[in-house]
Amino acid sequence: MMGTGFYLGDNLFHDRVTWAWEGCATRLAIRPEGLDSAKQDLAKYPSSPPPEDLALAPICAVVKISSRDFWLTTDAGYRGPSQIWKDFSEVKASCACEQPDMVPFKDDFSTVTENLHWLQDEVTTSGFPGKKGLFIQGNEASIWFKVCHKLFEVSPLIAGEDKENKSAADGLISDSSVFAIENWPTFHDVAASALDSIKDTHRVHPILAYGMDGKLIKPQAYRHQLDGALVELYFTLSHWAIGERNGSPGNDLHLILL
């Protein structure tokens, strides 16, 4: 991981990444050769879609998944429509990441958060006073960051894609039926009912988390194996500019996506 060139525990990745537009969002991407600065990159790619050869940057860090604010489960704690999730198909499982106890990653964590601040500051909207979505207050004076994962995606047939379009879990385990939406576990009656309503239109987008045995963690074991775990975390970073609403000022929203 430390040799990937995208480790947040040092600053060597700075020249390897750029923010690039994709639709209404900007994504952290691998910088193509010949580009000089993030600002020039944004000017070069002002519209959707970005160049076909522009790949998302797989930034990484070693963190401890906090037991506080842990929603990295199969239903993300869904209890019905809310201001955040209007429909079960939109839910994102999430968790807070804190400083690990293992050296040298314990000492690297301050650099990890500094680099996330740097990435956040590289793509801001003029006149927007707030930045949301990335950092949360941890214990006492510590700062943690939040990661999330969208649990469901529209099925290929509904989306008009090739029916052979495979899900993220296909080919990774011998029995992919445990990741089939008809077998997906929930922990509340409301979530179970909501799952039934999307079974014909969506499929599971599983969390690609691996245990110490190198095998993909099954959904029933997400909480047992991930809550409080020391993990090698690979993720992408996205940004949206959220305009003024109901008298509230605009904000820059940054999300770490697994």
Token pair, residue 10, equals 């040092």
Choose the weakest-confidence range: 135-139, 194-198, 216-220: 135-139
Position 48 scores a pLDDT of 44
Confidence of residue 192 (pLDDT cuts 50, 70, 90): very high
Nearest to 56 by CA among 15, 91, 32, 28: 28
The domain spans of the chain are: 6-34+52-257
Question: Given a cut of 60, is residue 27 above it in pLDDT?
Answer: yes
Confidence of residue 169 (pLDDT cuts 50, 70, 90): low
Of residues 160 and 237, more confidently modeled: 237
Contact 65, 94 (CB under 8 A): no
The whole-model pTM stands at 0.84
Nearest to 254 by CA among 235, 232, 238: 238
